Structure 1
Amino acid sequence: MPAAAHTAVGNTNLAQLCDLQAFFERWGAVPWELVRNQVPALVPTGHAVATAQGAACLAGPPSYTKIPAVSVLTAMFLHGSWTHLLGNMLFLAIFGNNIEDRLGPVRFLLFYLVCGYVAGYGFAVTDPSSSDPLVGASGAIAGVLGAYLVLFPRARVWGLIPVLFFLPLRVPAWLMLGMWFVLQAFYAAGYGTAEAGSVAYAAHVIGFVAGSLLGLTMRRPRRRAISPRL
């Protein structure tokens, strides 16, 4: 990022950006590291250095020990902004309680982590050369949405439906979540948004599919009606 070392970008100067980059590199899930199970020889150090073009973030040998598989776990508890965090927590609060009621707290936690890991590694496989850290719980929460679709498809939930303009309506879960999944798949393919490179839509799709498949194993068998004997 060629700029003066103390030039502000918004309310953040370059030194702060370099420090944030190093933090996410250490604790985020980097696809390049996941597919190779190793850390590169040079990583962001968190310091800005002067260059002929101005200034840039300094790279150097890692001063820490990082286990790529563990970084998928730590990345689930990091978010890029308050909007990212609050949006995820809203979806988790709305849809997660029913899944937790079905599984219980311990099994729900295991389900949540499995979806997060499948989404993280699945995204790494789709872009194995990427060195951009993946952060956020979106993959795991997408798994919760997938399970909800399978377990409670007829439940009615509030959603903003685009009819001329966005109207708050109660709609079946299968409609709302189905539309959400199609939209994520559309974005993951690179259509309809200019921000596809900064949002891991593929992780959302993979997490949703993983949650749906796991949700099929949670479905309770329907009891067959027994005809009374005369």
Structure 2
Amino acid sequence: MFPLGDDNSKLQRRGYVTYGLIALNVLVFLYEFSLGSESQALQDFIMTWGAVPERIAAGDGLITLLTSMFLHGGWAHLIGNMLFLFVFGDNVEDAFGHAKYLAFYLITGLIATAAHILLNLNSASAGIPSVGASGAISGVLGAYIVMFRSNSVKVLLGRFVQTVPAWMMIGLWAVQQFVATFATITTTSQTSGGVAYAAHAGGFIAGVVIGFVLSRIQPAPQLAQRRKA
């Protein structure tokens, strides 16, 4: 189930930060692509700037907690992540404001990476770099389901386009991440199929919690208008 779009009719702010994050991720990936898909230069780049659990646990390369969020492992990885960010990010940005949204995105991304590291220190994946924006984007989904759970979302389901409520689409996605995280805990590799499910689950939980708190402090503009009406 892939999202194609959502209801943006009540947005009051342009998603400039969301668009900027997408642009930055694409630019970094194009640089990766320029190094050659099988080149040693690319492998060295990923190893240097990706988040390697055993290295971070030793206190080395802490900057990779941040830089790893802007690296991707291939076109499908990049396009899938950017599609989710494009569909859901602008609503959350509208709710929080540009600066708070950027801080929220980075914080949930850091928490997601930390969750991945904690569950991989004693696994076969401890020496493998983790890359991708999916942890931070999972945080965006967590905040979205808190504040916009009734929004309509167009999704691609097989060969058909369907419209479903956001709580259903994101809820099913979240269940999959938690089930996969639980399953991989009992295996020798926490990144089943190359996917860091623990990062997704950690980012989502962080997004739900932070989104809930911030939405109480600063309600989304469209929700605030509804309360005044």
Provide TM-score, normalisation by structure 2.
0.71
Q: Distance in 2 between matches of 1:211 and 1:198?
A: 23
Matched ranges for 1:48-197 at <5 A: 68-129=61-122, 130-161=126-157, 167-190=160-183, 196-197=192-193
Matched ranges for 1:198-217 at <5 A: 198-217=194-213
Please give the per-residue CA displacement for 1:184-210, whole angstroms capped at 9, x wherever unaligned: 12222337xx97141101100110010
Partner of 2:64, secondary structure, is helix
| Contact map agreement 1:146 1:210 (CA 8 A) in 2 | yes
Please give the per-residue CA displacement for 1:112-166, whole angstroms capped at 9, x wherever unaligned: 00000000011100111411001110000000000000011111101234xxx55
| Contact map agreement 1:24 1:133 (CA 8 A) in 2 | yes
Q: Distance in 1 between matches of 2:81 and 2:153?
A: 17
Higher helix share: 2
Q: Distance in 2 between matches of 1:172 and 1:224?
A: 21
Rate the CA distance shift 1:207–1:184 in 2: closer, same or farther, 3 A: same
Partner of 1:160, secondary structure, is strand
| Residue aligning to 2:58 | 36
How many Å apart are 1:104 and its aligned residue? 1.2
Q: Distance in 2 between matches of 1:84 and 1:168?
A: 22
Rate the CA distance shift 1:124–1:12 in 2: closer, same or farther, 3 A: closer
Matched to 2:58, the amino acid is R
Q: Distance in 2 between matches of 1:224 and 1:189?
A: 40
Structure 2: gaps spanning 5 or more residues: 1-35
Q: Distance in 1 between matches of 2:227 and 2:162?
A: 35
| Contact map agreement 1:34 1:121 (CA 8 A) in 2 | no
Higher strand share: 1
Higher gyration radius (CA): 1
How many Å apart are 1:12 and its aligned residue? 6.0
Structure 1: gaps spanning 5 or more residues: 1-10, 39-67, 226-230
Percent of residue pairs identical: 43
Partner of 1:29, secondary structure, is coil
Q: Distance in 1 between matches of 2:196 and 2:159?
A: 25
Structure 1 segments of 4+ aligned residues over 6 angstroms from their partners: 221-225
Q: Distance in 1 between matches of 2:160 and 2:56?
A: 42
Please give the per-residue CA displacement for 1:54-74, whole angstroms capped at 9, x wherever unaligned: xxxxxxxxxxxxxx2211111
Provide TM-score, normalisation by structure 1.
0.71
**Highest RCO, 1 vs 2 (Cα 8 Å, sep ≥ 6):** 2
How many Å apart are 1:217 and its aligned residue? 1.1
